[in-house]
């Protein structure tokens, strides 16, 4: 069975239409934050197993950025929202 992602704009589509950017949870440091904060933001990532939030782009469809909440072990998708609607918690 193919993995499917339900785009809020285009409907249910195969995951091959999407490109993944990565973790949607890091918060960008303030411009004058210490170098250590910027290093952590740019280079240090946790690699949890289970339910995560990621940025995906629907490259073969509407080209919108989405926040996909999924299990990175089973690949089950729990929720998909437009990234502009998720900005409060997913920068």
> For the whole model, what pTM was predicted?
0.81
Summarize pLDDT for 18-31 with one digit per residue, the tens.
999 989 988 999 99
DSSP reduced 3-state for 37: helix
Distance CA 34, CA 15 (A): 38
Distance CA 60, CA 48 (A): 29
Domain assignment present for 31:
no
How much is the pLDDT for 2?
Answer: 66
Query: Residue 90 — very low, low, confident or very high, per pLDDT cuts 50/70/90?
Result: very low
Domain assignment present for 78:
yes
Range of the domain at 66: 4-25+42-85
Summarize pLDDT for 37-57 with one digit per residue, the tens.
999 999 998 888 999 999 999
Domain assignment present for 37:
no
Q: What is the CATH number of the domain that holds 16?
A: 3.30.2270.10
Strand-pair category, 4-7 with 11-14 = antiparallel
- More confident: 83 or 2: 83
- Domain count for the chain, please give it: 1
């Amino acid at each position: 069975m193919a993995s499917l992602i339900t785009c809020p704009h285009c409907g249910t589509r195969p995951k091959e239409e999407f490109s993944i950017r990565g973790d949607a949870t890091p918060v960008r440091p303030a411009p004058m934050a210490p170098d250590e904060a910027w290093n952590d933001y740019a280079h240090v990532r946790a690699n949890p197993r289970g339910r995560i939030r990621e940025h995906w782009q629907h490259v073969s469809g509407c080209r919108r950025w989405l926040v996909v909440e999924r299990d990175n072990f089973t690949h089950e998708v729990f929720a998909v929202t437009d990234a502009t609607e998720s900005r409060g918690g997913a920068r």
